[in-house]
Amino acid sequence: ASSRIRNPELLQRLMSAEAAAALIPNGAVVGMSGFTGAGYPKAIPTALAHRIRDLNGQGEKFRISIWTGASTAPELDGVLAEVDGIEMRLPFQSDPICRQRINDGRMDYIDIHLSEVSQYAWAGFLGKLDLAVIEVAGILEDGRLIPSSAVGNNKTWIEQADKIIIEVNDKQNAKLEGMHDIYYGTALPPNRKPIMITSPADRIGEQYLHCPLDKVIGVVETSAADRNSPFTPPDEVSKRIAGHILEFFEREIAAGRLPKELLPIQSGVGNIPNAVLEGLDAGPYKNLTAFTEVIQDGMLKMLKSGTLGVASATAFSLSPVAIEELNNNIDFYRERIILRQQDISNHPELARRLGVIAMNGLIEADIYGNVNSTHIMGSRMMNGIGGSGDFARNGYLSIFVTPSTAKNGSISAIVPMVSHVDHTEHDVKIIVTEQGLADLRGLSPRQRAHKIIQNCAHPAYRERLMDYFERACASGRGMHTPHLLGEALSWHQRYEENGQM
Ligand code: 0RQ
């Protein structure tokens, strides 16, 4: 056994992944670690999938419900969805096989704000949690756990589950120890107290996860890296979107509405956020802060250059090159990175107090500023709302970014009416496409429509959007947010029928 398991009692519960998977009963509700491809269990889900496949071969059904932090990896969501082993999944996924099962109606999926999941579990809204399967970087002599590359909901799963299985992964850097801040002061209403974070750098908790040893029914050793996708450099469209945002920041600083260190940044993952981070890094900025969910490649680079002074998150999501950089300089990064549980990293109270600048992607926005981040053509789930709502509603600035068209121009990202709403017109402050930026603050719905159509829509769709808007205004049926109800979703209908909006 490796030196990572320093507690003698837990060392005695060491077993194979297959033996551990056999401890999970049919119908169990299992809380697993994992957030954006980091810190998920590497061996037990695959062993369980093999067991399920064998049972399926004998004509037996076997399904469990899975709660996680956020998205995981093919070795968890992928393998279990493949064998139809997931009855219900929450709170976020981005796995292609899961997505297909969800959209085929064969897997239930509950898409909830990431900050709120632990409250749901504590309050009993979701029923009983039978088991927790948690990856850690090590176990201390007294049985406390060293978290790995994601904290997610692990604290809650360990507390709420009847039984716990631990995966100790020696591919996770042992020197992650000390990077985490696990807060044990949360409570359900009416007993809540203020969370005393007034800067992203504040530490208010402990470095380790507490773990009741009597609940641990198995310990498995693994040695496998997180799912690390290679970094793709920003494309032209992303760079143009980033350019609009960077100019906007400059104008806001000049107008005295933002300090020169900006405000804590929250940024989604992907090509556009990466382009924004690269742009900030190339600019005059020093000592910025991040209060976000995920630390991606761009943030490591900014920490290294001093553009970013500190980053608070719940997980990493890094390319193989960036992982190497992190591992080679982990003492430097430990001083500047804090990993928290997701009910703190995404807490609405903190996003509001700190005045977060939230930057997230969208699928479509309508001419009045409602945003759909989750559903293709109103019905088909893409990934989920993730933490975007935690930050967008409560942030100081809520910026949504997207290319102005999708699928080679056959879809306009700006539509008369969104086919599903995740972020309402009341939460969305700024929309940006490669065409330009629409600052919606202080505008009425009809003023917003002009701004969004002129600044954000692709020229191929601009006139038709204006035509819709003008005819809606001329209908005289309600001049606050004018719509032609029979036509509002006709663009989607047309796409479904002809493959072209
Ligand atoms: O599909 O690759 O099959 O062509 O959606 O779109 O443009 O590559 O953008 O990867 O940034 O994803 C909103 C989904 C954007 C993401 C969303 C199709 C498009 C492509 C992806 P293809 P892009 P992105 C952050 C907080 C919610 C969660 C969140 C997301 C695919 O940002 O999941 O914000 N957000 N979390 O072709 C049909 C449209 C479309 C469309 C795009 N209007 N109609 N298809 N697509 N627009 C924290 C973290 O990130 C952890």
- pLDDT digit string, tens, across residues 403-429: 999 999 999 999 999 999 999 999 999
Virtual torsion, Cα 221, 223, 227, 231, nearest 10 deg: 150
pLDDT of residue 22: 98
Side chain identity, residue 49: A
Atom of ligand 1 nearest to the CA of 363: 47
Nearest atom in ligand 1 to 70's CA: 51
Q: Contact at 8 Å (CB) between 204 and 193?
A: no
What single letter denotes the amino acid at residue 193? K
Instruction: Give the SS3 label for residue 7.
Output: coil
Q: Is the CB of 74 under 6 A from ligand 1?
A: no
Provide DSSP, 421-468. Answer: -SB-TTT--EEEETTEEEE-TT--HHHHHHHHHHHHS-HHHHHHHHHH
363 CA to middle of ligand 1, Å? 6
280-291 average pLDDT score? 95
Distance CA 163, CA 213 (A): 10
Using a 6 Å cutoff on CB, does residue 314 contact ligand 1? Answer: no
Tell me if residue 293 is catalytic. Answer: yes
- From 394, 330, 400, select the one nearest 361 (Cα to Cα): 400
Rounded distance between C-alpha atoms, residue 312 and residue 290, angstroms: 6
Of the ranges 56-70, 108-122, 197-211, 229-243, which one carries the lowest mean pLDDT score?
A: 229-243
Q: HEC states along 269-319?
A: CCHHHHHHHHHHHHCCCCCEEEECCEEEHHHHHHHHHCCEEEEEECEEECC
Q: Distance between CA 209 and CA 221 in Å, rounded?
A: 18
Q: Which of 115, 342, 363, 492 to mutate to test the pocket of ligand 1 (most atoms within 8 A of CB)?
A: 363
Q: What is the mean pLDDT of the chain?
A: 97
Separation between Cα atoms, residue 33 and residue 451, nearest integer Å = 43
pLDDT band with cut points at 50, 70 and 90 for residue 270: confident
Closest residue (by CA) to atom 40 of ligand 1? 363
Q: Tell me the DSSP string of 186-216.
A: ---TTS-------STT---SBSSB---GGGE
Residue nearest to atom 50 of ligand 1 (CA): 268
Q: Is the reported ipTM for this assembly greater than 0.90?
A: yes
Check if 501 has its Cβ closer than 6 Å to any atom of ligand 1: no
- Determine the distance separating the centroid of ligand 1 and the alpha carbon of 361, expressed in angstroms: 6
Distance of CA 432 from the midpoint of ligand 1 (Å): 14
The rounded distance, in Å, linking the Cα atoms of 489 and 498 is 14
Q: Is the CB of 268 under 6 A from ligand 1?
A: yes
Give the DSSP H or E segment for 394: helix 388-394
> What span, in angstroms and rounded, lies between the C-alpha atoms of 421 and 438?
19
Query: Is the Cβ atom of 114 under 6 angstroms away from ligand 1?
Result: no
Whether ligand 1 lies within 6 angstroms of the CB of 382 is answered as yes
Q: Is the CB of 205 under 6 A from ligand 1?
A: no
pLDDT score for 231: 85
- Which of 407, 415, 434, 493 most suits a substitution to test ligand 1, by most atoms within 8 Å of the C-beta? 407
**Mean pLDDT score, 452-466:** 98
DSSP labels, 31-61: EE--BTTBS--SSHHHHHHHHHHHHHHTT--
Say what the pLDDT of residue 1 is: 55
What pLDDT digit, counting tens, does each position of 310-347 carry? 999 999 999 999 999 999 999 999 999 999 999 999 99
Q: Measured between alpha carbons, how far is 484 from 477 in angstroms, rounded to an integer?
A: 9
Q: 4 pLDDT exceeds 70?
A: yes
Q: CB of 345 within 8 A of CB of 312?
A: yes
pLDDT in tens, 90-117: 999 999 999 999 999 999 999 999 999 9
| Residue 244 near residue 231, CB atoms below 8 Å | no
Between 211 and 269, residue with greater pLDDT: 211
Is the pLDDT at 2 greater than 80? The verdict is no
Report the percent of the chain where pLDDT is more than 90: 96
Catalytic-role residue among 75, 135, 167, 293: 293
- Which one of 382, 402, 458 would you pick to mutate in the ligand 1 pocket, going by the greatest count of ligand atoms within 8 A of its CB? 382
Query: pLDDT band at 269, cuts 50/70/90?
Result: confident
219 contacts 15 by C-beta, under 8 angstroms = yes
What six digits make up the tokens of 263? 């405000």
Q: Ligand 1 mean position to 373 CA, how many Å? A: 7
3-class DSSP state of 473: helix
Q: Which atom of ligand 1 is nearest to the CA of 413?
A: 43
Closest ligand 1 atom to residue 92 Cα is 28
Report the pLDDT averaged over residues 462-480.
96
Q: Mean pLDDT across the stretch 436-448?
A: 98
Q: Which atom of ligand 1 is nearest to the CA of 360?
A: 34
Residue 476 pLDDT class (50, 70, 90 cuts):
confident
Quote the tokens at residue 247: 């100019």
Q: What is the mean pLDDT of residues 223-243?
A: 92
The pLDDT of 423-437, averaged and rounded, is: 98
